[in-house]
Amino acid sequence: MKKFLSLLVTFIIACSTFLNSANTSFADNEELSIPAESGVLMDYETGRVLYSKNADNKIYPASTTKAWTAYLVLKYKPNLSEKVTIEKDPNVDGSSMYLKIGETFTVRELLEGLLIHSSNDVAVVLAEYVSGSIEEFAKLMNEEANSIGAKNTHFNNPHGLPDENHYTTAYDMALMAREAMSNSIFREIVKMKSVSFPATEAYPFERYFVNTNKFLTSDEKITYNGKEIPIKYDIVDGIKTGYTDDAGRCLLSSGVKNGMRLISAVFKSTGDDMYVASRTLLDYGFDNYTNKTIITKDKYTGSERILFSKQKELIYEPEYNYKVLLKKGTSTSSYTTKVKLNKISLPIKKGDKVGTLEVYNSKKLETTINLVATSNVNSVFGSLVENKVIFTSILVVISIIIIIFIGLIIKRKKRKKYYKKRIFKNRRR
């Protein structure tokens, strides 16, 4: 009995170990080790997670928070040339641009200071510029994070300085990094290697800052796959570093190779190991996966004949291209599509939804894409319908003509009947 129990315990432990390893690797159960407590690798196009390690564990984001701060500034205050005057001392610790009362910067300049130098005082100024206060901006940060699916995040400030109620997860931060990278201005700024600001009356020295992300600038080296190689990695085009004692070394990265973009999120690492961990994830993704466009909207057009239309037919196309992420060497032959058009009602404007395109993978519905009109389609009666007075007048005239016509027919029938009666009477005489 003891021997049986011992074997049972061993079996349970083995199963537990297997399940835990499966949760920290890709679906094909390939082992991948990174020197960080939490990590996620995500495909930018599809949002699919290729690798995760403790992805939903609570972590402190430190200055990676500023990526979300910058994205919300761009979303709610898109006028980059608008000027912001420093009216009070931001009074915040840590990395700083040393903003002085009376200085004026454009929104773009402040965003560059925030993302390149990781300036905490800039984070405070921008938060108050957008929402009026840190508290209101934190509410906005949480609402927007929740709206994209970051359900295990709670922000309490715009910079990421230590706060027990300022936390997130590696998965949530990967989601937010992906969303932020959808903004072209954000992408421009996070890949800048340095930034400088001329002297002002309040601060009579040039401010010159090198990007804190060593992937973009550093000549230092790391040990990677048993070799000493430069930290600088040409495929990386952003996005944000972070560090506090509680958070450890944190890094959100974006890499592009062969037309494919990947997002890595690494948290609670030490020293330059965050670059080793991030490169490990990015290389794993690019070495093993590829994305393929299976629906190209310009080539996937369709048409439908429309009666009583000036254009005679409706031409439609998918609203966007559709890419899928595949293991290298995998065929797309399992993908099929089905068009479902709505009941057509004229007029149709260019861009109007006119149906859906269902995309199936091995007969299982994978996604649905809106079909939209590529041009206007108007009724041959459109000009009359638009001018109600003319249209009503014509209806009245047509009605009168019909009434007169019916009256004439009735009158003619009565005359025929009258003459028939007279002929009949004459014959009887």
Residues marked active site are found at 63, 66, 118
Residue-level length of the chain = 429
Q: Are 40 and 88 in contact (CB under 8 A)?
A: no
H helices then E strands: how many in the chain? 11, 18
Cα torsion for 21, 25, 31, 35, to the nearest 10°?
A: -90
Residue 345, phi then psi, degrees to nearest 5: -130, 120
SS3 292: strand
How buried is 21 (Cβ within 10 angstroms: 0-12 exposed, 13-18 middle, 19+ buried)? exposed
Q: How many CB atoms lie within 10 A of CB 80?
A: 15
Classified as helix, coil or strand, 239 is strand
Radius of gyration in angstroms for the set of CA atoms belonging to the chain, rounded to a whole number:
34
Structure token digits, residue 301: 């057009």
CA 265/CA 182 separation, integer angstroms:
16
3-state SS, residue 182:
coil
Backbone angles phi and psi of 17, in degrees to 5:
-60, -40
Closest CA to 281 of 21, 41, 35: 41
Phi, psi values for residue 45, rounded to 5°: -65, -45
